[in-house]
Amino acid sequence: MNKLRILFFFFLFGFIAIIIRLFYIQVISPEFYSADYTKTSRIEPNRGRIFDRNHDPIALNQTKYRLFVEPKKVEDKEYLIQLLEDELNMDEATLEARIDMTKDWVAIQSNLDKETKEKLESYSLKDFGFEQEQQRYYPEASLAAHLVGFLGKDSDSESIGYFGIEGFYDKDLTGLPGVLKSERDMFGRPIFSGNQERVEAEDGRDIVLTIDKSVQQIIKEHLKKGVERFKAKSGCVIAADPATMELLGLVCLPDFDPEHYFEFTEGDFINWTISSVYEPGSTFKPLIVAAALEEGLVKPNDLFNEKGPVKIGNYTIRNWDDKYDGKITITHILEKSSNVGMVYIGGKLGKEKMHEYISKYGFGSKTQIDLQGESSGQIKPLSAWYPIDEATMPFGQGISVTGIQLVRAFASLINGGNLMRPHVVKEVLEGDKVKIREPEVQKKVLSEKTSHTIKNMLVSVVNNAEAKWHMPEGYTFGGKTGTAQIAVKGSYDVSKTIASFIGFAPAEDPAFLMLVVIQEPESSSWGSETAAPLFFEIAEDLLIYLNVQPS
Amino acid sequence: MRLSINTTIIGIIVLLIGINIAIFIQGIKLGNEISFYETEIASLNQENIESEQAIYKLESHVWTASLAAELEYGKYNAPIYSQLPKYARNK
């Protein structure tokens, strides 16, 4: 009995001690102890990757390291500063200022690679440590910078995509974070019988683009040489499949390195082809001619008497070369890029129809391309049109368009009359599920017949143009040059132009439609002497790469 | 009879204490294992990211271009058969 009593009291005291301790932990001082055994952490999802149409990577993830120092643990500050100065190439004054001995934790440098981290770790010092940072890795560097955008930080230091695909598809790419709630012992090990809750993170979706990195490379290489050769301020090229408006390539120069975006200014990130507007000049003429053909107001072989300059109120409209050929066909108006002839066609169409077609082609509204930062361009409301607007609009003055709007409208001229939604994403991959992006017809602008007619006229424009270009043999091209002066404070600066060429090949079944824009070229201000030759240089390589057989 | 009941109770208590200790030790072992695999998964994930980066780096145009520059490979070395088919026919 005595033994049992001893045992009883032994257990009783034990239980009372445990109850008192639990009361202290759970009621008197819960804040202090709760964090010790319950570990709650966020499981970061992997950001979705971006691939080109052949599943070659454009954007991946990589791990970088942030070096931190715990000043209160530092034994020899001088030695530490000397070490970091040598290994990180940081100056002594910066390190001295950063390692504030009154603080518990200070960040020294981010963006360190694995080799640097391992080298510093080999010193086996307890003074510093490393934190992992997930970052983007762009294996092709700036090859598709304006198209892809970059991954930066928001005001809360959270990663967020800016511009291009990274910006537009940020939510798809980010994924959903998971949560880990786990009871741990004093050594940080999970307590097996404790509470373990784990909600897995959902990784971001992978995105497959319509662009081809080799097409990008071809375009970029030629554009770079072109911008240098023409001593231009900048340049852009868009190549698309006119039947579907899938973008095959988009390059603007100068560009930026998306991994080191912080070394560039905000202006460098702007994708000129979708965010900036310009007067299209003569590249706009085929759109008005097609509208007049569709309405049955003109035919390709109709004659027009090009007598000389035309007076509209106080303004005189002249041809670009001030030459007038008398009786010419409608096709020849396009071939010689006659402004006077376009005033005639615009007059036949009338301002109401012209405004209607400009809207039908999608000018003045966004194309809904899947890239961040698109602007809508500007067209004047019909009520604000003056007679001079009706006269100049047909040759692309007095209207602001974006490059992508022009390409989309031009595609409708040669694809049977369909206004297609331009797009850059071909597939979205979520685990094993593949979501394919189908081409989308936004509007029917022209009939098949008109499309066929204007396509032939555009082939004739290239074949009978006054400028002679070196064209790859065996292929038929169609296209139109354009030279637009830049409006500065309400008047045109003749020394500053935007030279462009929009064309397609092969004419029978176009593999691509391409817009080449050269801004402020100094060697020659004309599109026919800058953008057009560059177009044919790029086209030659593209036809070979795309394996298009000569006809 | 009484003795055997006491012995049985003590035996059961000892057994329960033993089982508890075994469960406790096993719990620590499993906790260690969970901890080990958590670290392993994290390092495999890390290794995967690094390998992917290394592979794709070798497939990139940037790498090819740097290699070409290193080997002094330029346009003058490239075949031009597609533009001038007569070269292809020459043997």
Q: Residues in chain A whose beta carbon is closer than 8 A to a beta carbon of chain B?
A: 56-57, 60-63, 114, 137, 139-141, 143, 185, 188-193, 213-214, 217, 472, 540, 544
Using the beta-carbon criterion (under 8 Å), do A62 and B53 form an inter-chain contact?
Answer: yes
In angstroms, the CA A480 to CA A298 distance is 19
Using the beta-carbon criterion (under 8 Å), do A192 and B34 form an inter-chain contact?
Answer: yes
> Across the interface, which of A143, A192, A540 has its CB nearest the CB of B31?
A192
Output DSSP code: residue A549: P
Residue A106 burial (C-beta neighbours within 10 Å; 0-12, 13-18, 19+): middle
B90/A contact by beta carbon, under 8 A: no
Task: Check if the beta carbon of residue A240 is closer than 8 Å to that of residue A219.
Answer: no
> How many angstroms separate the CA of residue B86 from the nearest CA in chain A?
14
Higher-pLDDT residue of A1, A314: A314
B78/A contact by beta carbon, under 8 A: no
Using the beta-carbon criterion (under 8 Å), do A192 and B52 form an inter-chain contact?
Answer: no
The yes-or-no answer on residue A282 being catalytic is yes
Q: Which tokens belong to A307?
A: 């007598």
A438-481 per-position pLDDT tens digit:
999 999 999 999 999 999 999 999 999 878 888 988 899 999 99
Residue pairs between chains A and B whose CB atoms are closer than 8 Å = 57
- pTM for the complete prediction? 0.84
Give the per-residue pLDDT at B84.
62
A35-72 per-position pLDDT tens digit:
556 778 888 899 999 999 999 999 999 988 889 998 88
Work out the pLDDT band at A16, boundaries 50, 70, 90.
very high
Task: Check if the beta carbon of residue A347 is closer than 8 Å to that of residue A297.
Answer: no
A65-77 per-position pLDDT tens digit:
889 998 888 888 8
Using the beta-carbon criterion (under 8 Å), do B28 and A189 form an inter-chain contact?
Answer: yes
Residue A490 has pLDDT above 90, yes or no: no
Work out the pLDDT band at B79, boundaries 50, 70, 90.
low
Beta strands in A56-204 (DSSP E): 57-69, 106-112, 128-137, 150-153, 159-162, 178-183, 196-199
CA distances from A339 to A86, A513, B34, B81 (A): 67, 24, 78, 43
* Beta-strand pair A206-209/A50-51: parallel
Using the beta-carbon criterion (under 8 Å), do A61 and B26 form an inter-chain contact?
Answer: no
